Each structure stands twice: as C-alpha cells, then as structure tokens.
Amino acid sequence: MSAALFHPFVLGRLRLLNRIVMPPMTRARAANGGVPTAMMAEYYRQRASAGLIITEGTQVSRRGQGYAWIPGIHNPAQVEGWKQVTAAVHAEGGRIFAQLWHVGRLSHVSLQPNGASPVALSALTAQGVQVFIDPQGLGPAAGAGRKVQHSPPRALETSEIAGIVDEFAAAASHAMAAGFDGVELHAANGYLINQFIDSGTNRRSDRYGGSLANRLRFRDEVARAVAAVAGPECTGVRFSPLTTLQGAVDDTPESTYLAAARMLDEIGIAYLHIAEADWDDAPEMPMAFREALRLVYSGAMLYTGQYDRERAEAAVAAGWADLIGFGRPFIANPYLPRRLASDAVFNRGNPAGYFGGGAEGYIDYPTVDEVRSSVSS
Ligand SMILES: Cc1cc2nc3c(=O)[nH]c(=O)nc-3n(C[C@H](O)[C@H](O)[C@H](O)COP(=O)(O)O)c2cc1C
C-alpha cells in the first residue's frame, strides 16, 4: 500500500483520513425547492471514507440555478436539509465541503424567478450547450429531465455584481451553519466565476472586463468575501484552466491561472482544485504548469480528472499533488478508498442514472462485501 495516498493529510485545521477526495458531482436528486433529502444523506454517508467529500454544485441563489433538481443553500429549508447530510458524513468520521456555484448564463427561463432571462456578464449564448429542465414539475424520480438549449442571457449591470458577491458570502455562512467543514468556490467548467475569468466569455468594458486584473476581480471579490465568512483555512477554489467545457476558453490559460493562484495565495485559502480532463478530454496539464502552480501557491493542490490508483500515487510521490479526486469511480463505488487499497473489483457506473432519478444508480451500488458474496454464492 502506498505510504501517502491512504494516510492522513492535514488540510487547514482539518485532519483528513486520507488524500482521496470525492470531487463535486451534480446528481440532481433534490426535493422541490432545492432541498436536500434523506436519500442524499445516505449517498454521501456511503462515500464518507473519502478524506474529503466536496458536494455537488449548490446554487447560492435562485438565479444561480442551471438545471432541474439541484440543491440550493440560500434558505432555511435547504440549510435544514443539508444538516442531515453533514451529520451522516461526520458520524462516519468523514469531512465535507459544500461546492458553491452560480451558473450565470448556463440556465433556462423555466428555472429562473418569474421566468426571467439568466444573467451573464456579456449577452453571449454558449452554442450547443444544453441544460436539463422539468417544466411540468414531475420531480427527479421521473428520470433525466428534458434537455434544451440554455436561454439567451442578459448582461449584468455593474451595479448588480456586488449583490452576487453578497449571495456567495451568505451561502458560505449558511454552509457553515449547516455543519459543513468548509466551502469550495466553483470557478470552473464555464459557470459564472469562470465566465468572468476567461477571455472567450468576458466582453465587458467596465472594471470587470478587459485587462487580466479586471477579469480576475469578481473571483477575487467572491473569494475574499467567502473566506472572511468561512475562514480562509476552510475555503477552496476550483479552476479548469485547460478544459473547454461549456464555452469556457481563455487565450492564455497558463498566465491567467498562475495570476489567479497567486492572488488566492495572498488570501491563504486551504486548497486549489484543478479540474483536468472531464467529458471533453482536455489536454494533460504540462508539467511546467503544475510546477509553476506549486511555486506561486503554497496551500494544498488537489487534482481531479481520470485518475486511477497508479496515476494518483505517482502524482503524490512526484510532489505536484497533495490530494487526488476520483469522480466517476466514487459514483459507482461506495467505500472507494477500501477498494483502491485492496485492488478490489470496481463497479461500473451507469451514466443513465447520473443526473436525476431515484435510488437506482444512486445508493444501490454494491459494496465490496456484497460483490464478494455474490461471486462466491
Ligand atoms: C455526473 C457528474 C456530475 C458532475 N458535476 C460537477 C459539479 O457539480 N461541479 C463540478 O465542479 N464538477 C462536476 N463534475 C466533474 C467532476 O468533479 C470531475 O472533475 C470529473 O468527473 C472528472 O473526474 P473523473 O474522471 O474522476 O470522473 C461532474 C462529473 C460528473 C461525472
């Protein structure tokens, strides 16, 4: 067994059981009003042997919602719902952060208050990007939702932006009240914070657009506001410098994200989470980029994207990663660290149950012992 991957790691003021992370994964099974359910608590409980769980993207406001059945963290019912999730994970000795997101333009009028247009920083529609909706209110158990092109957005007024920063700070406060160990800002995959950062999506001419410093301003304001509430040692940030998902493309990703990492180092956040290859097979991060991140950022580095045990161990041994996320393997394999440690047989995930649905494909994946007994009987 590797000395590092399976051994405890100190993150901020938390002691993690191991360096294996369950990264954020939208599963679209919240109850009406974006309220987390007992079934969601059971799903996360089954995966609490991760060193750290980061929840699915969780909207900071109703306008921040981009898909049907996504949990929120902006009202008391949602906070109460999350309390059962954090209690279940803590009862197993696990740690859990909430991923805070605002999807910006990647939404649909049927999900927005009063059927309004989604908000974006520039009125640009991402071509070919679909969101799933539930206009008839059938609920997640009905299946995968109806896929539609996201609605044309309207550009945010400069005067509206401070209000969104406040929504993130309020959401962080709610997350800590719900018992989370910390929060992760979703600044990746083409959602609102990422839309501000990348040159391909930011066409603003005010103080939030144009120069790199301006494009990083919103992310800086949100990170500072959230860290002031949750504590920098309880705050992480996720970037996806090289993925081109959902129209997020930057002309000079290395210099952009090194500057962003340097600013986060000043705030002293606990970790930087790099989303590598996802659905779109992003190019592998050049080693020089990984090493440069290490030089400018002194907190923990977490990498996610098509890792297996061998690659994860090599990354930690080489020193450019402290923590490794295993996404799809965690969906299909409760108690994943035990399987990784013992090279047990892995369940294969069923993508049909990834987004929306009931217990099937969610909390019914067999444990190692169940697999063994079915093989021997
Ligand atoms: C079903 C599913 C939902 C996802 N939802 C999110 C999300 O809400 N937030 C996020 O930052 N990434 C999300 N991701 C990306 C994962 O966190 C991860 O980066 C990706 O699956 C690649 O890791 P893997 O190859 O280990 O699965 C999602 C991935 C999957 C498979």
pLDDT, residue 144, reads 67
**What DSSP designation does 52 have?**
E
- pLDDT for position 345: 86
Decide if 283 contacts 242 (C-beta within 8 A): yes
| Mutation pick for ligand 1 pocket among 21, 25, 97, 103 (CB with most ligand atoms within 8 Å) | 25
Cα distance between the two ends of the chain: 29
For ligand 1, is residue 336 a contact (CB within 6 Å)? Answer: no
Which atom of ligand 1 lies closest to the CA of 186? 11
Is 186 touching ligand 1 by the criterion CB < 6 Å? yes
Asked which of 74-78, 160-164, 176-180, 250-254 is least confident by mean pLDDT, the reply is 250-254
Q: Does residue 73 contact residue 65 with C-beta atoms inside 8 Å?
A: no
Model pLDDT, residue 238: 98
153-169 per-position pLDDT tens digit: 999 999 999 999 999 99
Average pLDDT over residues 181-196: 95
Query: d(Cα 284, Cα 305) in Å, to the nearest integer?
Result: 10
CB-CB contact of 222 with 195 (8 Å): no
**Boundaries of every domain in the chain:** 9-376
What is the SS3 assignment for 303? strand
pLDDT for 377 beyond 60:
no
Take atom 26 of ligand 1 and give the residue whose Cα is closest.
327
Mean pLDDT, rounded, for 331-335 = 96
Distance 26 CA to ligand 1 centre (A): 7
Q: Is 25 in the pocket of ligand 1 (CB under 6 A)?
A: yes
For residue 99, the ligand 1 atom closest to its alpha carbon is 9
pTM over 0.85: yes
> Ligand 1 pocket test: which of 238, 278, 302, 354 has the largest number of ligand atoms within 8 Å of its C-beta?
278
Q: What's residue 376's pLDDT? A: 57
pLDDT confidence band for 96 (50 / 70 / 90): very high
What letters, b where the CB count within 10 A reaches 16 and e where it falls short, cover 203-232?
ebeeebbeeeebbbbbbbbbbbbbbebbbb
Confidence of residue 138 (pLDDT cuts 50, 70, 90): confident
Q: What is the average per-residue pLDDT within 240-261?
A: 91
- Strand 154-155, strand 119-120: pairing: parallel
Q: Which residues contact 360 (CB under 8 A, 6 or more apart)?
A: 353
Which ranges of 67-150 does DSSP label H, i.e. alpha helix?
76-91
Lowest-confidence pick of 94-98, 115-119, 138-142, 327-331: 138-142
For ligand 1, atom 3, name the residue with the nearest CA: 25
pLDDT at 2 over 70: no
| pLDDT (tens digit per residue) in 284-306 | 899 999 999 999 999 999 999 99
Kindly give the number of the ligand 1 atom that is closest to the alpha carbon of 325: 26
For residue 303, which of 5, 99, 21, 1 has the smallest C-alpha distance?
Answer: 21
- Catalytic residue numbers, as ranges: 191
The residue type of 213 is: A
pLDDT at residue 368 tops 80? no
The residue-averaged pLDDT of 10-37 equals 97
Distance CA 217, CA 88 (A): 37
Please identify, in words, the CATH class of the domain defined by 9-376.
alpha beta
Of the candidate ranges 20-29, 43-52, 131-140, the one whose mean pLDDT is the lowest: 131-140
The owner of tokens 């359910």 is 37
**Ligand 1 contact, 189 CB (< 6 A):** yes
**Amino acid type, 6:** F
Provide the pLDDT for residue 30: 97
* Residue 56, ligand 1, Cβ within 6 A: yes
The pLDDT score that the predictor gives to residue 87 is 98
Residues 349-366 pLDDT 10s? 999 999 999 999 999 999
The average confidence (pLDDT) of the chain is 93
pLDDT tens-digit map of 100-114: 999 999 999 999 999
Q: Are 230 and 176 in contact (CB under 8 A)?
A: yes
Phi, psi dihedral angles at 199 (to 5 degrees): -65, -25
Nearest CA to ligand 1 atom 2: 25
Decide: residue 242, CB within 10 A, 0-12 exposed, 13-18 middle, 19+ buried.
buried
Tell me what the mean pLDDT of segment 180-205 comes to: 94
Q: Name the residue at shortest CA distance from atom 6 of ligand 1.
A: 25
Q: Whose CA is nearest to atom 30 of ligand 1?
A: 25
Q: Is the CB of 64 under 6 A from ligand 1?
A: no
The model's pLDDT over 303-322, given as tens digits with 9 standing for 90+, comes to: 999 999 999 999 999 999 99
Q: Which of 250, 277, 375, 274 is nearest to 323 (CA)?
A: 274
Note the pLDDT of residue 123.
86
* pLDDT value of residue 373: 66
Taking residues 244-258, what's their average pLDDT?
A: 90
Helices marked H in 208-308 — which ranges? 212-215, 217-230, 253-267, 287-296
Return d(Cα 206, Cα 85) in angstroms, integer: 41
Distance 318 CA to ligand 1 centre (A): 24
Tell me, using a 6 A CB cutoff, whether residue 74 lines ligand 1.
no
375, pLDDT greater than 70: no
